[in-house]
Amino acid sequence: MKKLDFLKILVIATETGRVTRKYPYEPPLVSNEFRGKIEIDEKKCIGCGACVIACPPNALELKIEKNILILKYFVGRCIFCWRCVDVCPVKAIRGTSDFELATDNISDLNEAVIHDRNECIECRGNYSTVKQKQYVIEKSPITENYVSKCPDCRRNGFINSIQRRKGGVYAE
């Protein structure tokens, strides 16, 4: 009888029955915990770029075009790690369990959020985004005059003020 022991697999096979799922006619294959594609809420996003810095495969990118700033998301590069979800300061990025992303049109894989950039009150150049400026004003008590200048003008202003002060000291 021992020679025929391997036939016991038939018992297991009958007990287990069919394990192949009738995808896609059956409910989702993935659990609630599954990390899939991300969604960016245009209304909440402030264009700060925290997600871009955290993103390991550069699926998220910032592009600057004159007075607008574009946050680009390319699903083809995404590794679905949700680091962007972790780091987003305004919770604008939400993870979904969407994984059926195959397409014959590459533009389906691109998403973009367009932001207006601020205009510097001094040099009239563009910097940051309008929404990020509002966010900063709400979050920290910095004078509006200060955040209304671009980083370059802010830096120059600071250096100039130090120089002036120094000069004053030496003059005495």
Partner 1 sequence: MNSSNKTNILEKYREIAESYKGSFSYIKDTVLITVDKNALRDIAETIYWKMDCYHRTCVGVDETPLNGYLALYHIFGDDKNGLNIIVKTITELKNPVIPSIRDIVPAADWCELEAHDLLGIVFENRDLYRLVLPPYWPRDIYPLRKNIPYNYRPEVVYSSERISESTETAVVPIGPYHPALHEPEYFELFVEGEKIVDVKYRGFHVHRGIEKLGESRTTYQQINFLAERICGICGFVHAVCYSQAVEKAANIHVPERARFIRSIALEIERLHSHLLWIGVAAHILGYDTGFMHSWRIRESIMLIAELLTGSRKTYGINLIGGVRRDIDENKIKKVLETLDYVEKDFKKLIDIITSVPEITRRIKDTGVLPKEDARKLSVVGPVARASGLDRDIRRDLPYAAYEYVDFNVPVYDSGDNLARFKVRVDEVFESISIIRQLLSNLPKGPVLNNEFEIPEYKIGVSLVEAPRGEDVHFVITGRGKPYRWRVRAPTYNNIPALKVMLQGCTLADAPLTIASIDPCFSCTDRIVIIDEKGFRRSILLNPFNRKCDLK
Q: Which secondary-structure segment (H or E) carries 157? A: helix 151-171
Q: Binding of partner 1 at residue 101 (CB under 8 A)?
A: no
**Could you tell me what percentage of the chain is helix, strand and coil, using 3-state DSSP and rounding each to the nearest 5?**
40, 15, 45
Nearer to partner 1 (CB atom), residue 55 or residue 120: 55
Task: Enumerate the β-bridge partners of residue 105.
Answer: none
Q: Binding of partner 1 at residue 90 (CB under 8 A)?
A: no
Q: Binding of partner 1 at residue 79 (CB under 8 A)?
A: yes
Q: Binding of partner 1 at residue 12 (CB under 8 A)?
A: yes
Q: Which of 37, 44, 54, 61 binds partner 1 (CB under 8 A)?
A: 54
**Interface positions, 23-52, toward partner 1 (CB under 8 A):** 30-31, 33-35
Q: 59: burial class by Cβ within 10 Å (0-12, 13-18, 19+)? A: buried
Q: Binding of partner 1 at residue 3 (CB under 8 A)?
A: yes
CA distances from 41 to 28, 90, 117, 120 (A): 24, 10, 18, 27
Q: Binding of partner 1 at residue 1 (CB under 8 A)?
A: no
**Interface positions, 131-160, toward partner 1 (CB under 8 A):** none
Given a contact cutoff of 8 angstroms between Cβ atoms, the answer to whether 63 and 108 are in contact is no
Residues near partner 1 (CB under 8 A): 2-3, 5-6, 8-9, 12-13, 16, 19, 30-31, 33-35, 53-54, 56-57, 79-83, 86
